[in-house]
Every structure is written in structure tokens, then in C-alpha cells.
Amino acid sequence: MKTRSLFALIMLLSIVNASGQKLSIDLTFTAINNTAYVQLDSIKVMNRSQCGENIIYYPDTTLSFEITPGDTLLYIGYSTGFPVGVREINQKNSQFQLFQSFPNPVKDQCMVSMYLPEDGNVISWVNDIQGKVILSNDQFFEKGIHSFRFFPGNSSLYLLSARWKGVTQSIKMINAETGTMQSCRLDYLGSVGKDISLKASALKTDQVMLESGILDAPSANETYTFQFATNIPCPGTPTVAYEGQVYNTIQVFSQCWLKENLNVGTMINGTRYMTNNDTLEKYCYDNDPANCSEYGGLYQWDEVMQYTTQPGARGICPPGWHLPVDEEWKVMEGAVDQQYGIGDSEWDTLYYRGFDAGYNLKTTTGWNFLNSNGIDLFDYSAKPAGMRLFYGNFVNLEGSTVWWSSNECNSTHAIYRTLSTFENISRDFLDKVDGFSVRCLKDY
């Protein structure tokens, strides 16, 4: 969203809603990967306030849309991605699919998926840059989507091929870290049954597409640019200097996040409550400042929000940044999950939801409770910061992390996200006097 004043505008426009007036607007879309133009395959527009949706397909990139002033719209841009793979299809109109690895280039490890329209044996093999076969496998799979995790060795380029019923497809995987001692391997993760759709299933396509989401509440004609870059610092804003510290940024498709939890304010003892005074306050796990340096501060919701209840407020974030609203967290979750996409109703539920979004956000080390490290697929670098409970105790360091959203449920509880030993992400609400971490999101 363009500025936090947008949410004030939403509240103002809600007065207009009572009169039942409608607003007709033209929405225009384009897309980039970092700074390079990307061709959109299709765009879905979802009215998150009133549950309507529209889909347009390339080359159409403009949509006339009627809304009630104040409606929040979710725009989802789909693209077939960028040509880095090699495909050899030996059977016309086959629906067998080997999807390009993600991320590519590979950093430490990547995800690969294939789709089988029928049960059958799949022969798969991996060649290095010299053409040597270094891995091979012949295995029976049932109909559906099957996921694998590939760990590269020291070769700079790998070619993964899979053959099913005479149909061969291949993808190239570029290794960004050739100096490691890691052994090359391909691990089978499991299957998504035939009744579970691909992320882009709403588009009635057999391809898995990259998707990028933007949330806004427009009041006039607008032009939006989807960003398809990820695993890079936010273009134009690689770092943010704030309150004596420098934070890195990370682009996750159309969202720009701080890469570290916020660490601002004066430490107070965990047994004390934060108050609305002239001092920004924080908790450090076990009252140890070193933990704030490593994991960021822990904050009560009212202190985070700077004693306003306006969703999307800047709160304690740097200028030009804000506390993400619940809907923005849902966009993030859909963007990084391998099964449930942006706008999927899965993200509207409570408790642990999704497939592997949490696993893809967690760091590869440090989650020592039950050895629940992630793969940091998007370089989001979520560390297990623990939490401060309302009665002053600190719990779950190295076992979980909890982030506030800027949406309250009532006068005493607010919505949060948590990562723990599971691979998915929990959405729930807890007492505002608990002490949780903060990730800031750049204003759109």
C-alpha cells in the first residue's frame, strides 16, 4: 500500500459505503523481474471485502472493475517464469510435467516437482556439466504431484531428466555455491494427491506458474507493477538505517521486507509491562541484550503499534515501512508455500495452515528444538527468537518465533503468526501483553 494513510482513507470511505454508492475504476497491470520486463500470463483480481473475483488473460492487462469505496482488493499476477530449463517432449499433447527447480540458481538446495497424469514408473537421472550421470533412479509413482529436494555437489551446472511412459523432460539447475563439500543427492519428499490442485489451478492450466500478489484499496484508476524477483535485496533499497542500526532487506515477489526482526528501544525487565511514555521499550530474551542483537527485540502489541489500533500503522517501524496487516501476511504465506497459492482460502483459517511455507522461511540452522531447521528458500532468514509471556517468563528460544500483525481481534487480543517445529505457519490471536517479534513491510 502506498502509505499508511491509505488505511485512514479506508476508514473514511467506509462512511460512503452506507449510502451504497459504487465506484467504477480501471486497473492496469504490468510486471518485472528485478528491473527486466516480464510477460504476465493472467491476472486475478479478488475483492477481499466482498468475495468477488475476475480473471483476465494476456494480452489483456487492463480491467474495468466496480467496487464499493473502501473495498480491499488482492491482485495476483501469474507468469510462466523465465526460460532456464531444457524440455524434450517426445509425445504430443502429453500432460506429464517436470517443473523448473526453485530457486534457480540453486543455493545449497532447491525444490523440484513433477506431475503424473496416471500411475507409472518414472526413470530419473542427473548429469553434471561434463555429461556424467551422477544420480539415477527408477521408481513407481501414483498419479499426482511429487516433490523432491535436490542438493548440488561441486559442479556448476546440472541437468535433471525424468522419463514417464516414453515422455522425457529435462531442466537445467545452476549451482551458485560450487565450493561446498556437500554430496549431490535427490531426496523424495512425498506426493500431493490427485485431488489437490496446482497453485495456479484457478487458471485452468496444467502448468505451475510463478505468482505475485499486491494488496490495495484503490479509490481511482491505478497502474500496478508485479515484482517477480526474490532472494535479492529489495531493488533500490538494499539496506535501511534506523535508530542506530542497519537492517538488510529481502524481496519476496511484490513484497519488500526487512530481513531481520526489529531491534529498537531501551531494554526493560521481562516482569514489567510496557507503557505509553516517551521511551520506546523492548524485551530481550532472558533479559540478555545479546539475545536482542541475535534475534531482535520482543514487544507488546500496544508498544509495537505506538498506541493506535489502526491496521497498517507505521508503529515502531522505520519511516516508509509499516506493521503488516493480516491480509499482507496471507499474501506472503501464499507466495512462499509450494502447494497453496496467494488468495487460497487455506490462509483464511486459524492455527497451522498451508503445506511448507514455514519450512521455506526458517533458517537452515539454529532451530535446535526437535531439529526443526528450515531451508530458507527465499532468504527470509526467520530465526527462532522465542517469546515473552504475559506474566514475564521467556520461553521457546531456538524452538519458535512469533510475529505480530497490526490487526486486533478485540481490546485485549491481536492476530499473530508463528513458526515452530512444524513446516507450516500458524495464524491465531493472543493477549496483547505478550512479547513477540516484529518484521516490518515496506509501503507499496
pLDDT in tens, 97-143: 888 777 767 777 777 888 888 899 999 999 888 888 999 999 999 88
pLDDT at 273 over 90: yes
Q: Of 5-19, 127-141, 228-242, 302-316, where does mean pLDDT reach its minimum?
A: 5-19
pLDDT band at 8 (very low <50, low <70, confident <90, very high): very low
Contacts with 162 (C-beta within 8 Å, 6 or more apart), sequence order: 98, 114, 122, 123, 124, 168, 169, 170
> What's 16's DSSP letter?
H
User: Distance between CA atoms of 350 and 51, rounded to whole angstroms?
Assistant: 19
Which of these, 366, 385, 356, 362, lies nearest to 375 by C-alpha position?
362
pLDDT band at 287 (very low <50, low <70, confident <90, very high): very high
The whole-number pLDDT of residue 10 equals 42
pLDDT at 180 over 50: yes
pLDDT at 43 over 50: yes
pLDDT at 207 over 50: no
Instruction: State the average pLDDT over residues 264-276.
Output: 95
Whole-prediction pTM? 0.72
Distance (Å) of CA 232 to CA 31, 56, 377: 17, 29, 12
pLDDT at 155 over 90: no
User: Distance between CA atoms of 310 and 399, rounded to whole angstroms?
Assistant: 31
Report the alpha-carbon angle 407-239-173, nearest 5: 95
pLDDT at 5 over 90: no
Residue in the block written with cell 532468504: 379
pLDDT band at 192 (very low <50, low <70, confident <90, very high): low
Cβ contact 196:162 at 8 Å: no
pLDDT band at 82 (very low <50, low <70, confident <90, very high): very low
Give the pLDDT confidence of 389-440 residue by residue, as tens digits. Answer: 988 899 999 999 999 999 999 999 999 999 998 888 999 999 999 999 999 9
C-alpha cell recorded at residue 82: 523465465
Distance (Å) of CA 201 to CA 44, 208, 227, 289, 317: 12, 8, 21, 48, 37
Which of these, 303, 297, 305, 304, lies nearest to 388 by C-alpha position?
297
The whole-number pLDDT of residue 255 equals 97
In this structure, how many other beta carbons lie within 10 angstroms of the beta carbon of residue 238? 13
The whole-number pLDDT of residue 3 equals 45
pLDDT band at 81 (very low <50, low <70, confident <90, very high): low
Q: 3-state DSSP helix/strand/coil percent for the chain, to nearest 5?
A: 10, 40, 45
User: Distance between CA atoms of 241 and 261, rounded to whole angstroms?
Assistant: 14
The whole-number pLDDT of residue 197 equals 39
Residue in the block written with cell 467496487: 67
Cβ contact 112:160 at 8 Å: yes
The whole-number pLDDT of residue 383 equals 96
The whole-number pLDDT of residue 16 equals 42
Which of these, 169, 52, 58, 150, lies nearest to 101 by C-alpha position?
150
Cβ contact 123:137 at 8 Å: yes
What are the chain's domains? Answer: 5-80+211-228 (2.60.40), 97-203 (2.60.40.1930), 239-442 (no CATH)
Cβ contact 304:314 at 8 Å: no
Which of these, 316, 341, 307, 274, lies nearest to 46 by C-alpha position?
341
Cβ contact 34:236 at 8 Å: no
C-alpha cell recorded at residue 172: 537445467
Q: What percent of the chain has pLDDT over 70?
A: 87
Q: Mean pLDDT for the chain? A: 85
User: Distance between CA atoms of 444 and 441, rounded to whole angstroms?
Assistant: 9
Q: What is the DSSP string of 69-122?
A: TT--EEEEEEE-----------STT---EEPPPEEEEEESEEEEEEEESS-EEE
Q: Residue 113 carries which side chain, given as an amino acid letter?
A: S
> What's 203's DSSP letter?
G
